[in-house]
């Protein structure tokens, strides 16, 4: 029963055609098959948010998502957030606000924050905290992470 499925994934504006076993997660595809290691494997149970990526503009947990479910989807990982060497303004805010310690959760935090902002549902500090509650920082940088997101949200990025 080792029948592979042929799928197309559009990741960071690049098209990949892959043959994968049907039970391979998107996280494992990114890390093990495409060498996109910015997305992290944390709990592998969808509880920490370290594996958060954007899929068709919405944040998803790549450890709980089978790659075959995302055939022809547009996926953005942390590697696709910056424009070449130019950091995304939210990445700059994370640096400015010292919103990371070990940095392990940072890719998932940034992808989740960008998805949350695009959802356009979190306006207040409390709403942002609630919307980001699925992304854990075990180092305790949560307050700086929220401050970085709020600073970003309060700037004009057009």
Number of domains in the chain: 2
- Mean of the pLDDT values across residues 144-150? 97
In a domain, 158, yes or no: no
The stretch 72-86 carries a mean pLDDT of 96
Together in a domain, 10 and 73: yes
Say if residue 36's pLDDT is above 90.
Answer: yes
What is the domain range of residue 10? Answer: 5-80
pTM, full prediction? 0.94
Express each pLDDT in 91-109 by its tens digit. 999 999 999 889 999 999 9
Q: How far apart are CA 36 and CA 77, in angstroms?
A: 8
Mean pLDDT of 14-27: 98
Predicted confidence (pLDDT) at residue 158 exceeds the cutoff of 60:
no
- Pair (61, 95) in one structural domain: no
Q: What is the mean pLDDT of residues 11-38?
A: 98
The structure tokens 């609630």 sit at: 130
Q: Residue 1: what pLDDT?
A: 64
Residues 96 and 147 in one domain: yes
With 60 as the cut, is the pLDDT of residue 3 above it?
A: yes
For residue 115, what is the domain's CATH number? 1.10.150.120
Are 109 and 43 part of one and the same domain?
A: no
Q: pLDDT-derived band of residue 2, with 50, 70 and 90 as boundaries?
A: confident
CA–CA gap between residue 138 and residue 56 (Å, rounded) = 28
* Residue where a domain stops, chosen among 29, 47, 80: 80
Token digits of residue 146: 């929220």
Q: Rounded mean pLDDT of 40-59?
A: 96
Residue 25 CA to residue 63 CA, distance in Å, equals 6
Answer yes or no: is pLDDT of 156 > 80.
no
User: Can you give the CATH number for the domain in which 23 is found?
Assistant: 3.10.20.30
Mean pLDDT of 139-156: 93
């Amino acid at each position: 029963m080792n029948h592979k499925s042929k799928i197309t994934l559009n990741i960071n504006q690049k098209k990949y055609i892959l043959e994968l076993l049907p039970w391979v997660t998107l996280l494992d595809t990114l890390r093990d098959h495409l060498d996109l290691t910015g997305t992290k494997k944390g709990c592998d149970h969808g509880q920490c948010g370290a594996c958060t990526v954007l899929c068709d503009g919405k944040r998803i947990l790549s450890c709980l998502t089978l790659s075959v479910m995302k055939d022809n989807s547009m996926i953005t990982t942390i590697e696709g957030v910056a424009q070449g060497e130019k950091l995304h303004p939210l990445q700059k805010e994370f640096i400015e606000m010292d919103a990371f310690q070990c940095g392990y959760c940072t890719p998932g935090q940034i992808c989740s924050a960008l998805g949350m902002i695009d959802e356009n549902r979190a306006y207040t500090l409390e709403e942002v905290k609630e919307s980001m509650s699925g992304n854990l920082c075990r180092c305790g940088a949560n307050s700086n992470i929220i401050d970085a997101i709020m600073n970003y949200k309060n700037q004009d990025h057009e």
